[in-house]
Structure 1
Amino acid sequence: MTTPTESNWVIPLAFLLATGVFLGLSTNLAKIAAGVGLEPLAFLAWSLVGSTTVLAVIGAVRHRLPPINARTIEYFVVSGLVSVAVPNLLSFAAVPRVGAGFVALSIAFPPLFTYLGALLLGMEEFQTRRAAGVAFALGGAALLAALKLSEPDADAFWIVTTLTAPVLLAVGNIYRTLRWPEGAAPDELAPGMLAASGLMLLVVGAITGVLLGGVSRFSLVVPTENIVPVLLIIAQTLTFSCMYLLFFFLQKHGGPIYLSLLGSVGAVVGVPIAVFLLGEAPPQGLAIGGLLIALGVGLLTFGDPQAS
């Protein structure tokens, strides 16, 4: 893994901000999709198939397709499961119940779990500045989530379900760093992970379709009454393609702790989209929570993002 110098903090920051924009956009596209009758499984599965195709074609043209061996297959399957398929499916299913704004906020939780995991596994030595950055970012997200839970009409089941996704994302952050295939480039790993996650979801959809007689929530069928669902899948395909390609470059240049701040940036981007474009009520405490998240990103950004 490449370790940046003090002068190279701009590179990880640029990747962080760009990837966060696509992450925030992705969450809101899920809400729009739910509003036009696209089931979460179908929307996620076909978007992943599309983004896999896009990145694989680009890789083939550039002669940079992912290596296929036992190590990379394990990497693609495990990272696809805990980093893409399950957390995205949980989040997309929760959007109609708790709102795109709250789902966007929930993905700001991984920093603490990732940081603690890295400390326990000896991947990082304790450093006050970095610990403070994680604490501020997590504090901002926790404040916003606590206020959401205190609302009179809060759906506790779906709120808790939504908050399960960050735990899986943190596990994925640690795993992808520890098991990064030797010599593999970021743009070689992205299509493999997306292909594995997309295939898993297609299998789930096919099996549940047979066992449950095509229950709608597990359906892979895309409504064809109008072109909007197809356009949304195309939009999510392009969003995923950009997001996950940048995602691996961010991990390569910033490391797992810095990468975990992606959710915080995604929340800062995703919540305003939900409020101003989709008409959701702004979450309570948004100003204070956003300020704490920004402060946390700053403390983990300036200097070496991978410093230990």
Structure 2
Amino acid sequence: MSPRFDSPLVLLLVTGTLLGLAPPLGKAGIAAGVPPLGWALLISAGTAAVLTAILAARGTPPRLDRARAVYATVTAALSYAIPNALMFLAIPHLGAGYAGIMLTLSPVTTLCIAILCRVRRPTALGVAGIVVGFVGAVVVASTRGEVGRPADPLWVAAGLAMPLFLASGNVYRSLGWPPGATPTELAAGSHLAAAAMLLAALVLAGDAGGLVRIADVPGLALAQVAASAAMFACFFRLQVAGGPVYLSQIGYVGAAVGLLGGIAFLGEHYGPATLAGAVVIAAGVAMTTVAQRRATA
């Protein structure tokens, strides 16, 4: 991989853009009859298959030891299985764009957890960014989704829980990184574990039969797997290059792509308060980003 593509900024933009494709693709797939948990399973199973094939072609299949198994299991739960399940379950009620906006809370939440875990010391600007981001989140949450289709507060809470799990996963992946492990290896193992968790959840929910509906939308499914595999190939590289707080900024890029995709291709409509809240959250994200850069300068 070229040095330019290893730069944190390039990785951030690529990873965030690919992340933002998930909400609109997922909403379209769910509308075609695929169970929400089934779409989350498609992402993890497809990503694990593609990345494992790449590793096998390189002659470096994933290694399995206790440290990697623990890392894969915890990462799978915090970063993939739970937040993706929440996102795709909530999207039919909140809209793809609204669910994407919730991703913008990940950077602020990651900074809070990083401070609590003493991964990063707080600065005045960083704390101010947290407060601003929280205010924006309150504004967005109060609008409860698309115009004329207010969501049940339970689904709003589910959307707000997403960045909490994502942020916990962001910090854990840096703290728990197994010595000598490669980014692609960890991505493949974590998604394999996430796929097993989601399949078990589908079986318990009695929705496993709905997986056959994926065959009705082969184009969407292939686009989702390709985007997800490419995203997670970059995701763990960004973890190494930028650290957990910088990596969390993909939520901002992803939210912009998801919001525009929902409006442009899915006919979603959001009121001025929702869009204003998104701008306020973006301001909070910008403040925390500047604070991080100053702290590492």
TM normalised by structure 1 equals 0.84
296-305 vs 140-149, greater mean Cα deviation? 296-305
TM-fit CA distance, 1:294: 4.5
TM-fit CA distance, 1:287: 4.9
Query: Which is helix-richer, 1 or 2?
Result: 2
278-287 vs 264-273, greater mean Cα deviation? 278-287
| Counterpart in the other structure of 1:166 | 163
Deviations 1:275-296 (A, max 9, x none): 0111000343355445445445
Hey, what's the Cα distance between the residues in 1 that align with 2:118 and 2:142?
A: 31
**Residues 1:242 and 2:230 aligned together:** yes
TM-fit CA distance, 1:256: 1.0
Q: Is the CA contact (8 Å cut-off) linking 1:31 and 1:96 kept in structure 2?
A: yes
| Counterpart in the other structure of 1:12 | 8
| Counterpart in the other structure of 1:222 | 212
| Counterpart in the other structure of 1:5 | none
| Counterpart in the other structure of 1:157 | 154
Deviations 1:17-63 (A, max 9, x none): 11111111011111001111111122221332122111111111123
TM normalised by structure 2 equals 0.87
Q: 1:89 aligns with which of 65, 74, 85?
A: 85
Deviations 1:65-97 (A, max 9, x none): 332100000000110011001110111011111
**Residues 1:251 and 2:239 aligned together:** yes
Deviations 1:168-227 (A, max 9, x none): 111111111110111222122111111110111122223x26xxxx3x4x5453227xx5
Q: 1:51 to 1:177 in 2, by over 3 A?
A: same
Q: Is the CA contact (8 Å cut-off) linking 1:107 and 1:165 kept in structure 2?
A: yes
Hey, what's the Cα distance between the residues in 1 that align with 2:154 and 2:181?
A: 40
Hey, what's the Cα distance between the residues in 2 that align with 1:306 and 1:27?
A: 33
| Counterpart in the other structure of 2:269 | 281
Q: Is the CA contact (8 Å cut-off) linking 1:222 and 1:230 kept in structure 2?
A: no
Q: Is the CA contact (8 Å cut-off) linking 1:101 and 1:283 kept in structure 2?
A: no
| Counterpart in the other structure of 2:248 | 260
Hey, what's the Cα distance between the residues in 2 that align with 1:188 and 1:296?
A: 34
**Number of residue pairs matched?**
291
Hey, what's the Cα distance between the residues in 2 that align with 1:272 and 1:305?
A: 31
Q: Secondary structure at the match of 1:223?
A: helix
71-80 vs 241-250, greater mean Cα deviation? 241-250
Q: 2:190 aligns with which of 179, 193, 197?
A: 193
Q: Secondary structure at the match of 1:163?
A: helix
Hey, what's the Cα distance between the residues in 2 that align with 1:179 and 1:66?
A: 17
Hey, what's the Cα distance between the residues in 2 that align with 1:244 and 1:286?
A: 29
Q: Is the CA contact (8 Å cut-off) linking 1:42 and 1:221 kept in structure 2?
A: yes
Q: 1:179 aligns with which of 158, 168, 176?
A: 176
| Structure 2: runs of 5 or more not aligned | none
Q: Is the CA contact (8 Å cut-off) linking 2:146 and 2:268 kept in structure 1?
A: no
Deviations 1:120-143 (A, max 9, x none): 221112233444455555544443
| Counterpart in the other structure of 1:272 | 260
Q: 1:41 aligns with which of 37, 45, 53?
A: 37
4+ residue segments displaced more than 6 Å: 149-152
| Structure 1: runs of 5 or more not aligned | 1-7
Identity fraction in percent: 34
Hey, what's the Cα distance between the residues in 1 that align with 2:84 and 2:252?
A: 16
Hey, what's the Cα distance between the residues in 1 that align with 2:211 and 2:226?
A: 20
Hey, what's the Cα distance between the residues in 2 that align with 1:266 and 1:105?
A: 8
| Counterpart in the other structure of 1:4 | none
TM-fit CA distance, 1:307: 2.0
For 1:55, the aligned partner's letter is L
